[in-house]
Structure 1
Amino acid sequence: MSERHWASRQERGSYLGIVTLLTLYRYGGRWLLKLLLAPIISYFLLTGGDARRASLQYLRRLHRYCQQSGQPSPFRRVPGWRHSWRHFWQFGLAAVDKIDAWIGRIKLADITYRGDITFKALNEQPQGGLLLCSHLGNIEVARAMSKERYQKRMNVLVFTQHARAFNRALQQVNAEAGIDLIQVTDIDVAFAIEMKQRIENGEYVVIVGDRISVTAPEHVIMQDFLGQPAPFAMGPWVLASVLECPVYLMFCMQAQSGYDVYFKRFREQVVLPRKQRHAALQSVVADYAANLAMIAQRYPYQWYNFYDFWTLPAAPERAKPTTTHNDIEGSRGYD
């Protein structure tokens, strides 16, 4: 039996609630907001059965994967409800970090690059590219830091209503928070052509690769992730092949002191030959999933997919068929 699609799950929270938190932060600072977050997080943990079960599923799967692969687990014992509370708590702190980033409280000195490229290097390149991100870590922090210092435009593809509400609220803190956001429902040929033109002009397109399509949930590649097959969207990789540009992976992770930014050259270009298309997709998705697993082991509580990631869901009722080019398969943006 299929799980409900992630997009059909009602987002817990509202624009008013987010604005309230931002107001409290503005007048009471980070510590007041963290104090208020504790009971809020506890409430969501107690009442959010699906999210709580998804959290435990992920944490325990990560623990078991490490044990079976002979790698050290980030947990001393099988994760339980206290680990799940910490997982929820980290998610709450990520929202605070986004605010910090956009009001300028996070400085460049707080960022440590752990990879083979930096934003400075990207800024010096004439051509743009595609940044593949995920719901592992906090890419909003990296985006805000890039916006503050560098001129390269990042076109962030946004889908969910919750993402729009949160970014609308962030604009009350910094009007530039939403300038580069592009709200999309489908990625068709016309949209791909527009993005390709932007990349040729030196801009970057940002998309996540760890959630399946809203309109075409069947367009997936099943790939091992933490020891179990999981559905990954084809769309971002098909889009990458159409854009014919360099592809980078980016993870921004909260560390003990500041933030670790993993910036990696992933592919000079994603090529999907017609006769070997499935095999080529399997290869790039396998590489992407391996990078997710590596980062998850190092930062186990910063995985923000609070649903059954390993089960292929049914399409949400609100999703309607759309006419798109058969090479641009269901994709989605960053939320």
Structure 2
Amino acid sequence: MSNLNQQPGSQHWAMQGERGSFWLMKFTAALLRLLGRRLLSPLLYAIVIYFFLFGRKARHSIAEYQRNLAAWSGRAELLPSRRSVFRQFMAFADSLLDKLDVWHGKLPLAEIRLLDPTDLRSQLHQGGRGQLLVCGHLGNLEVSRALAELGEQVRMNVLVHTKHAAQFNRLLGEAGASHLQLIQVSELDPGIMLQLSERLERGEWLAIAGDRVPLQGGRNVTVDFLGRPAAFPQGPWLLAGLLRCPVNLLSCLKIDGRYQLQLEPFAASVHWSRPERDAVIRQWVQRYAERLGQHCLSAPTQWFNFYPFWKCNERDEQNVGTPGKRSTGV
């Protein structure tokens, strides 16, 4: 919940937000053991309502996302209102409760609808070289990550920017997640690349977010997302090219009260010569941004980036709740 209240010009989200995420996870895990989900739910919803009421920047950021999605798709019903912004906050609270269920074994794979038209799931068990999964902060990442635990029993390595990876791993172990490992990657240095290559050779899979720019100084590229320029990380596509591994997309959206996990092939290979590297990576990032936008339309209130994603000028909050007002910054 930490990135709900970040101010422009403050610490990068990976320095500030993930610290709060660690303490939130520790806090909620303790409360769950003490109270159980039934008693914890009202408290968690109250916390999210507090952030909705006092998190002005977070409200603006969600309203901006909804406005851009409506303009890009031509669907006026997606334009932001106070009610629609509040629904997105509450969807976030609901996802937090579901995360707790995942790590305590109360959301088995049988209750998750798997969409895998090319049978990528079978490749998890073939014993060959691992692959790269790119996911985003749309839907419930924990359900996606739990694919490694819920019946698949494959080693999944999640690449993160948080400095608290060791503490997160300890908490995940306490929750029973034995096949999930968080690996902190601020820079793609030779040591990290060698470690990741060895994991792929052992048949392990790598997962990385494709919609969060790395720590300041990291590589990113600006592409069109929902009709406006936004920064996306180059990391997933640099990794795919350097490690010479296929790239698949992983998403998990809650549709009609049931999670729908989708695996889809995206790039059989990413390769370039040095002079064309930047152009090739930009093309792949743009393709990913377009696919992410399409997924946003499937679950519009499940976008959980609560900070100024487009880094545009702040809008007056009176625009939130003004029907028919479209974004002019296309």
Same fold per superposition (TM over 0.5): yes
Change (3 A) 1:90 1:80: same
Show the 5 A alignment for 1:316-331: none
By how many angstroms is 1:12 displaced? 8.3
Preserved contact between residue 131 and residue 205 of structure 1 (Cα < 8 Å):
yes
The structure that is helix-richer by fraction is 2
Identical columns (%)? 38
The CA distance in 1 between the partners of 2:120 and 2:184, in whole Å, is 27
Unaligned runs of 5+ in 1: 68-72, 314-335
By how many angstroms is 1:298 displaced? 0.7
Of 287-296 and 302-311, more deviation after overlay is shown by 302-311
By how many angstroms is 1:213 displaced? 1.8
- Secondary structure class of the residue paired with 1:251: strand
For residue 158 of structure 2, the aligned residue among 146, 156, 162 is 156
Of 109-118 and 291-300, more deviation after overlay is shown by 109-118
Other-structure match for 2:175 = 173
TM-score, scaled to structure 2: 0.83
Other-structure match for 1:66 = 73
Show the 5 A alignment for 1:193-204: 193-204=194-205
By how many angstroms is 1:167 displaced? 5.7
Deviations 1:60-98 (A, max 9, x none): 11112111xxxxx3x636312221111111112222111
Other-structure match for 2:62 = 55
The CA distance in 2 between the partners of 1:16 and 1:294, in whole Å, is 33
The CA distance in 2 between the partners of 1:240 and 1:205, in whole Å, is 10
Other-structure match for 1:223 = 223
The CA distance in 2 between the partners of 1:111 and 1:130, in whole Å, is 22
Q: Does 1:129 align with 2:131?
A: yes
By how many angstroms is 1:254 displaced? 1.6
Of 123-132 and 236-245, more deviation after overlay is shown by 123-132
By how many angstroms is 1:45 displaced? 0.8
By how many angstroms is 1:99 displaced? 1.4
Deviations 1:265-320 (A, max 9, x none): 1111111222222221121111111110011011111111111111299xxxxxxx
Other-structure match for 1:327 = none
Of 135-144 and 3-12, more deviation after overlay is shown by 3-12
Other-structure match for 1:6 = 13
Other-structure match for 2:85 = 84
Preserved contact between residue 212 and residue 232 of structure 1 (Cα < 8 Å):
yes
Unaligned runs of 5+ in 2: 1-7, 314-330
Other-structure match for 1:186 = 187
Preserved contact between residue 32 and residue 40 of structure 2 (Cα < 8 Å):
yes
- Secondary structure class of the residue paired with 2:149: helix
The amino acid that maps onto 1:33 is L
The amino acid that maps onto 1:153 is R
By how many angstroms is 1:162 displaced? 6.9
For residue 141 of structure 1, the aligned residue among 140, 143, 165 is 143
- Secondary structure class of the residue paired with 1:86: helix
Show the 5 A alignment for 1:274-293: 274-293=274-293
Other-structure match for 1:316 = none
Change (3 A) 1:78 1:163: farther
Change (3 A) 1:247 1:307: same
Q: Does 1:30 align with 2:37?
A: yes
Preserved contact between residue 223 and residue 229 of structure 2 (Cα < 8 Å):
yes
The CA distance in 2 between the partners of 1:258 and 1:233, in whole Å, is 30
By how many angstroms is 1:106 displaced? 0.9
Change (3 A) 1:257 1:121: farther
By how many angstroms is 1:126 displaced? 1.1
The CA distance in 2 between the partners of 1:53 and 1:168, in whole Å, is 35
Change (3 A) 1:241 1:58: same
TM-score, scaled to structure 1: 0.82
The amino acid that maps onto 1:194 is Q
By how many angstroms is 1:164 displaced? 6.3
**Over aligned residue pairs, what C-alpha RMSD do you find?**
2.6
